Chain A
Amino acid sequence: MKVTIKTYNAVAYWRWDAPSDDVCGICRVQFDGTCPNCRFPGDDCPILNGKCGHSFHLHCVNDWIQTESSRGLCPMCRQKFEFEAE
């Protein structure tokens, strides 16, 4: 049998390289979802992996680091929050 494909719909699936049941410790939403202020998951609302091994939505941890009381520390382990520039 010979089949000629006339048209097709490609479907792709993605997820962050993070445990699927893991939530952002700040907003408590799953990493594959967005921070509370964004609507679309993905590159517009990325997760940020700290050198200390703790990850958060970029927007969430950014809000925290900008507060004076954070003193630039990771909310989990209170070490200086640093991340690998990509």
Chain B
Amino acid sequence: MELLAVAATPVDLGAARVQMALSLGWHIVIACFGVGMPALLLFTEWRGIRTGDPVYQMLARRWARAMGVLFAVGAVSGTILSFEMGVLWPGLMDSFGDVIGLPFTLEGFAFFVEAIFLGIYLYAWDRLPPRAHLLSGVPVLLAGVASAFFVVTANAWMNQPHGFELRGGEVAAVNPWVAMFNPATPPQTVHMIIAAFMVAGFATASVYAAAILRGRRERYHRLGFTLPFTVAAVLTPVQIGVGDWAAHFVADYQPVKLAAMEGVFTTQTGAPLHVGGVAIDGEMRYAVEIPNGLSLLAHFDPDATILGLNEVAAANQPPVNVVHLSFQAMVAIGFALLALSAWFAGMWWRRRALPRSRLFWLGAVAAGPLAAVALEAGWVTTEVGRQPWIVYEVMRTSEAVNPAPGLWVGLVLLTAVYVALTVATIYVLRRLARDGPAPLAPQESDVTNQPVP
């Protein structure tokens, strides 16, 4: 057919990239709840069973209902992604589908486990004794973390393609385990899984912080805030440490990405750290410079050499401003969340009480959305910083895209659907939050006769 020889137009390539970023960026936020919520929920339900405290039981019921909605949305948005891998990037799948197939297959099993036990957990609340019901939630937790791990190994492979050889342009000698456990896997998976718990924790806490800010300080709201916030607050310093690990990884393995993240245009020793700033005409303007900071941070040596973008062909450079700004945003939010967590911890340490300051509660309301922004910013850093490669230094994004005409139509349709989906999800979650004081059991009206406090 005449289409065969035709490459995708720049418009279609751009549309495909935006579509991928949109659907991934959407899915990832929901997926964080799939990873983080089960742990919160199980802990709360366990406390409820142990203490018989109705407040815990009620919180567990509420969260379970929200999780039912989020899981459904996560499942469908994830399905779109698996279609898109082929619909948008057939060149990638054609050559490398088998190389990254293993983690996705493992993920398939994790999804099965997750979906089966979530079905049981949500719908069999009245059909199982409490302890068995609690246990039925454990596989959901494990499978959620496992699926995050698996899928991120696939992304890590795109940053560090290992486990195959190129022989005359053909992929050969594939070893899927080596591909899965590539050098980028440890920092990326750890960083992502912690991010998921942070997003779920801060976001759940945000809901109750908003209520407390409106003066509803009864125990239900205080517990609903403290529990998830504590989890997220404890993880925040850990996450910053892991982020540092991720940055060292980038410095060692993807120096071009580091140069874009930090706006380094000329190779130099003793490179300064840029805080803020924009790249204009090949230099960083308006940035606060910390002398030797970057060399020290990236290589533990104030005089270490940092590669500059001047050594990279223009066609192989990622867009600096996007990468630099999103990286700065992530780091800034990371430290802002750390400050908030420290405030919370300090008050607890000294007075065993929640902070009273309005500023704290405003910050706590913002923490959930901010954590999600950090998550998105981190992914933009990783993905855009890898450009123009879809498989780092092996395959260009433009070689992978579907050459069929009219991809932009799909983007328009998908955007409309996602806008509608976002509006509907928020509407339903808000409704759930407002429903009367004693929630029905999750999802199922059959369970109304279950004694809810």
* Chain A complexes with chain B: no
**Chain A residues in the interface with B (C-beta under 8 A):** none
